[in-house]
Amino acid sequence: MGKQSTKELLLEAGRTIFLERGYNNSGIEAIVQAVGVPKGSFYHYFGSKEAFGLEVLNRFAECLNADLDVYLNDATKSPLERLKCLVEARCTRLESQQCRKGCLIGNLSQEMAEQSEVFRSRLNEIFTGWVDRYAACLQEAQTAGEIPDDLNVREYAEFWLNSWQGAVLRAKTIRSTSPLRTFQKVIFRFIPEIALEPANRGS
Amino acid sequence: MGKQSTKELLLEAGRTIFLERGYNNSGIEAIVQAVGVPKGSFYHYFGSKEAFGLEVLNRFAECLNADLDVYLNDATKSPLERLKCLVEARCTRLESQQCRKGCLIGNLSQEMAEQSEVFRSRLNEIFTGWVDRYAACLQEAQTAGEIPDDLNVREYAEFWLNSWQGAVLRAKTIRSTSPLRTFQKVIFRFIPEIALEPANRGS
């Protein structure tokens, strides 16, 4: 097992265990046990549990950001269509896990925002990066005439992201993915599509 | 200090400490220390930390439900006006605390839903009780012609509650109450008021 792969395995185990049990409730012991390496190995790669936690967060955010970019920059679809595909894909993925674990970023926000400024600050940056991406796509939708001209896209993007986090939270409590589908239904009802066929507007 | 008051003080301390640190991260030691009673005193009133936690939850829900009922059953206002007053009051209250602690029900849902079936089940009942109240008020608003006839009030009430929880979560991370005000602005924009002056509709 190479050095790189042990580090990767520890980060992967951290993500899984933090999602299942939260940060405070997950000891380094459980993480090294999951990978089958001695505790000294953990400290070879990471200076502290906090440094490890932040790296787990960063990896998770990188993956999610790359995934968001694939959907939201897909030039073969209209901007609103991209958002619809993204929400459908997210619902399907969380349904496949019965949405029992929630979102690592939402979970750690709930748990850590008040306890650790370094976590809060990083989580806030990650959320803001998501809002930027949604707002850019909504801006494109506005330019394409798919959503009303007077919609404040930044504000709406924030509302969208927060509502989604709330739906994921509720899905954990109700142990059903129905809140995600309710989100999907209601959020798109709330964007009056002022142009039914945006592709044909110029013709 | 009478028996009743020690029990009350322990429950009050539990609420504060669970809000600040989460459930797993709060020892019984910290709770009895906050009240200034010996640990044996805790076990005199509560069979276990779980039993105590559930009683903290129940007290919190009772208070919030009573508060919701005051706003949502206020016959001096139209149903939509009641919802607006409620949201304004909630925003103001959370602003006074800088919304740093979030909502106990949301926090414990995030932390405990996957870890304890007894917590998950009780949290789910509490959420459902809130949805019932919002849905009943929205139903009245629909009957009064304040919101569109074709709005599914139950679905909309669920969306509303989940979105609010998401806004509270985001407020913790961004350390600002702006997500609450964004919620307020967007959620009411999304209810097209089909009657501007509902009180005058019959005249």
CA distance B68 to B30: 31
Q: Which of the four pLDDT bands, split at 50, 70 and 90, describes residue A156?
A: very high
For chain A, percent of residues with pLDDT exceeding 70: 91
Residue A140 tokens read as: 């494109």
Classify A153 as helix, strand or coil: helix
Virtual torsion, Cα A62, A65, A85, A170, nearest 10 deg: 80
Q: Which residue has the higher pLDDT, B44 or B175?
A: B44
- Per-residue confidence (pLDDT) for residue B2, from 0 to 100: 54
Q: DSSP class of residue A38?
A: -
CA distance A18 to B4: 39
Tell me whether B23 touches chain A (CB under 8 Å). Answer: no
* pLDDT above 60 for B29: yes
Q: Find the mean pLDDT for residues B178-191.
A: 88
Cross-chain CB nearest to B173 (options A100, A123, A185)? A123
Residue B102 · residue B172 · CB < 8 Å:
yes
SS3 assignment for B87-141:
HHHHHHHHHHCCCCCCCHHHHHHHHHCCCCHHHHHHHHHHHHHHHHHHHHHHHHH
Residue B139 tokens read as: 């139903």
Convert the pLDDT of each residue in B46-93 to its tens digit.
Answer: 999 999 999 999 999 999 999 999 999 999 999 999 999 999 999 998
Residue A174 and residue B101: Cβ atoms within 8 Å? no
* pLDDT above 70 for A174: yes
Q: Which of the four pLDDT bands, split at 50, 70 and 90, describes residue A53?
A: very high
Q: Which of the four pLDDT bands, split at 50, 70 and 90, describes residue B180?
A: very high
Residue A44 tokens read as: 């070879």
Residue A49 · residue A162 · CB < 8 Å:
no
| Nearest C-alpha neighbor of A20 from the set B102, B115, B121, B153 | B115
> 38-97 in B: which are within 8 Å (CB) of A?
none
Architecture of domain B57-196: Orthogonal Bundle (1.10)
Nearest CA in chain B to A180: B159
Domain boundaries, chain A: 1-47, 57-195
**A57-195, what's its fold?**
Tetracycline Repressor; domain 2 (1.10.357)
Q: Which of the four pLDDT bands, split at 50, 70 and 90, describes residue B175?
A: confident
Which of A87, A173, A187, A191 to probe the B interface (max B CBs under 10 A)?
Answer: A173
Residue B25 and residue A21: Cβ atoms within 8 Å? no
> C-alpha B63: how far from its chain's center?
9
- Per-residue confidence (pLDDT) for residue A107, from 0 to 100: 87
- Per-residue confidence (pLDDT) for residue A194, from 0 to 100: 47
- B22: chain A residues, CB-CB within 8 Å: 22, 24, 111
> 140-179 in B: which are within 8 Å (CB) of A?
155-156, 158-159, 161-167, 169-170, 172-175, 179
Tell me, what amino acid is at B168?
A: V
Tokens 């909309």 — which residue?
B156
- B187: chain A residues, CB-CB within 8 Å: 159
Residue B185 and residue A155: Cβ atoms within 8 Å? yes
Q: What is the complex's ipTM, to 2 decimals? A: 0.87
CA distance A174 to A76: 37
CA distance B167 to A166: 8
Residue B22 and residue A22: Cβ atoms within 8 Å? yes
CA distance B168 to A163: 10
Measured in residues, chain B has a length of 203
> C-alpha A21: how far from its chain's center?
18
At residue A162, φ and ψ (nearest 5 deg) are -65, -40
- Per-residue confidence (pLDDT) for residue B192, from 0 to 100: 60
Neighbours of B89 (CB within 10 A): 13
- Per-residue confidence (pLDDT) for residue A4, from 0 to 100: 62
Nearest CA in chain B to A107: B110
Q: Which of the four pLDDT bands, split at 50, 70 and 90, describes residue A58?
A: very high
Virtual torsion, Cα A182, A183, A185, A189, nearest 10 deg: 140
Distance from CA of A183 to the nearest CA of B (A): 6
Architecture of domain B1-47: Orthogonal Bundle (1.10)
Residue B167 and residue A172: Cβ atoms within 8 Å? no
CA distance B88 to B184: 8
Residue B167 tokens read as: 């806004």
